Chains A and B, each alone.
Chain A
Amino acid sequence: MIFRAVEDADLIVRARRGDVEAFNLLVSRWEKRVFNYLLRLTASPDDSLDLSQDVFLKAYQNIRKLDDPARFGPWLFRIAHNEACSEFRKRRPEAHEDAAALADREAAPGIALDLSLAVTAALDRLTSEQREAVVLKVYQGFKFEEISEILGAPVSTVKSRLYTALDLLKEELAPAKTRGTK
């Protein structure tokens, strides 16, 4: 992970000097994480792909504004967060898909369907802010300080959103997991 960070920093320095290949390599390293982050927020693969495209375009255009290459991850996810927020504002009137449809789309092979359904339904019951805090912490593994930077909110707010979400998820998922793994 340390070597990876060092290599990323080197690629960022090269990309800032206009090395397109270095930036393409950065894209190939980060595109899956960004796509899955956006997919868990938007629940739409097509929208997530389009948004990912926009995220990396903006990252390329603004990479000279990145002060510390070591903070590339949070900086990139900050752009992704902003893009997702813009998307939500545009399509707010649209109805959300039901939990069953989401579960059908995200169900993992070899995993009991009722657990996948339960997880997807539980996540869908959270507010978008709570869900984003869970995605950034549990699925993307960011530290609170980094999530604070991504969301532009204080660490205390981030923790409050995450722990409130955790209380809701615990009620839903602990029994669900017991049933699903029988």
Chain B
Amino acid sequence: MMESGCDREQLRDFAFDELAVPARAAMERHLAGCEACAAELAQIQLTTAALRVLPDREIPQRIAFVSDKVFEPSRAVRLFSGFWNSGARLAFVSACVLAAAIVFSAYRRPAEIRSVSPSAGNATLSRDELSREMDARINKAVSDAVARVHEEDARVMKAALESANHKAEQQRRTLMVAMSEQMNMLQKRLGVFREYAMAGPERNSGSDQ
């Protein structure tokens, strides 16, 4: 028999692992000195061990009713699921990856400049050095771009002048040819007129006779 001071319910809670940590520790101390409670605990453990002799049985048939059409999700859910399991998802995910790569690349760019800079050596560049180097590179790039623009402008201007000169020369030559032809024509007419004038008095006198 258990002693009157023993808490039987607490002992059973202890046996079923339902006591909080402080109460559990107190019960362990009590069990160390109370034979009646220790015997009661042993009896409970023996009983539960006997109950567990009966094993769980395997289910004779798998439960698989959810594949039935009646239990399919709603149209909206299926549409969303269809989108989420389709090529659209792939495109969406690809766009996200691309965006992430662009952002990552933008943040990584200064580090890349540092790593390829010959002046940097294997030492880490300070922020000012990095800034100066970036400014120098930007200035050089701008100068190169301006020079390229000037060069291109000069080339275009030269080509335009050459074209204008060529056109003027052609017009001059055409005019010269036209004037030459006019001159020839006038000389021929003058020759004819002179012959007519020289032969005129003789014809006039012959007709008078």
With contact pairs A53-B63, A166-B12 given, residues A35 and B47 touching in the complex (Cβ less than 8 Å): no
1/0 per position for A8-32, CB-CB distance to B under 8 A? 0000000001111001100110011
- Report yes or no: B50 in contact with A45, Cβ–Cβ below 8 A: no
For B56, give the chain A residue with the smallest CB separation: A36
For B12, give the chain A residue with the smallest CB separation: A163
- Report yes or no: B43 in contact with A170, Cβ–Cβ below 8 A: yes
Interface centre among B18, B52, B54 (most CB of A within 10 A): B54
- Report yes or no: A174 in contact with B47, Cβ–Cβ below 8 A: yes
Q: Which DSSP category, helix, strand, loop or mixed, fits chain A's interface? A: helix
- Report yes or no: A177 in contact with B49, Cβ–Cβ below 8 A: yes
Q: Given the complex, which residues of B lie within 8 Å of A39, measured CB to CB? A: 57
Q: Given the complex, which residues of B lie within 8 Å of A176, measured CB to CB? A: 50
Binds A, one of B69-77, B117-125, B173-181: B69-77
Categorize the interface residue count of chain A: 35 or more
Q: Given the complex, which residues of A lie within 8 Å of B130, measured CB to CB? A: none
- Report yes or no: B59 in contact with A119, Cβ–Cβ below 8 A: no
CA distance A169 to B52 in the complex (A): 13
- Report yes or no: B52 in contact with A20, Cβ–Cβ below 8 A: no
With contact pairs A18-B74, A143-B18 given, residues A134 and B66 touching in the complex (Cβ less than 8 Å): no
- Report yes or no: B65 in contact with A20, Cβ–Cβ below 8 A: no
- Report yes or no: B18 in contact with A57, Cβ–Cβ below 8 A: no
CB contacts under 8 Å to B, within A127-164, are 134, 137-139, 143-144, 159, 162-163
Interface size on B, residues (CB 8 A): 36
CA distance A120 to B67 in the complex (A): 37
- Report yes or no: A52 in contact with B59, Cβ–Cβ below 8 A: yes
- Report yes or no: B59 in contact with A31, Cβ–Cβ below 8 A: yes
A1 on the B face (CB < 8 A): no
- Report yes or no: B66 in contact with A45, Cβ–Cβ below 8 A: no
B9 on the A face (CB < 8 A): yes
- Report yes or no: B53 in contact with A116, Cβ–Cβ below 8 A: yes
A6 on the B face (CB < 8 A): no
Q: Given the complex, which residues of A lie within 8 Å of B203, measured CB to CB? A: none
For A111, give the chain B residue with the smallest CB separation: B53
Interface centre among A53, A56, A144, A166 (most CB of B within 10 A): A166
B112 on the A face (CB < 8 A): no
1/0 per position for B1-33, CB-CB distance to A under 8 A? 000000001001100101000000000000000
- Report yes or no: B62 in contact with A28, Cβ–Cβ below 8 A: yes
CA distance A52 to B43 in the complex (A): 34
- Report yes or no: B18 in contact with A144, Cβ–Cβ below 8 A: yes
Q: Given the complex, which residues of A lie within 8 Å of B12, measured CB to CB? A: 159, 163, 166
Q: Given the complex, which residues of A lie within 8 Å of B66, measured CB to CB? A: 20, 23-24, 27, 56, 60
B60 on the A face (CB < 8 A): yes
Complex A-B: 9 CB contacts under 8 Å: A18-B74, A20-B73, A49-B60, A52-B63, A56-B63, A60-B66, A119-B53, A163-B12, A173-B51
Binding site for A on B (CB under 8 A): 9, 12-13, 16, 18, 43-44, 46-67, 71-74, 77-78, 81
Binding site for B on A (CB under 8 A): 17-20, 23-24, 27-28, 31-33, 35-36, 39, 45, 49, 52-53, 56-57, 60-61, 106, 108, 111, 115-116, 118-120, 123, 134, 137-139, 143-144, 159, 162-163, 166, 169-170, 173-174, 176-177, 180
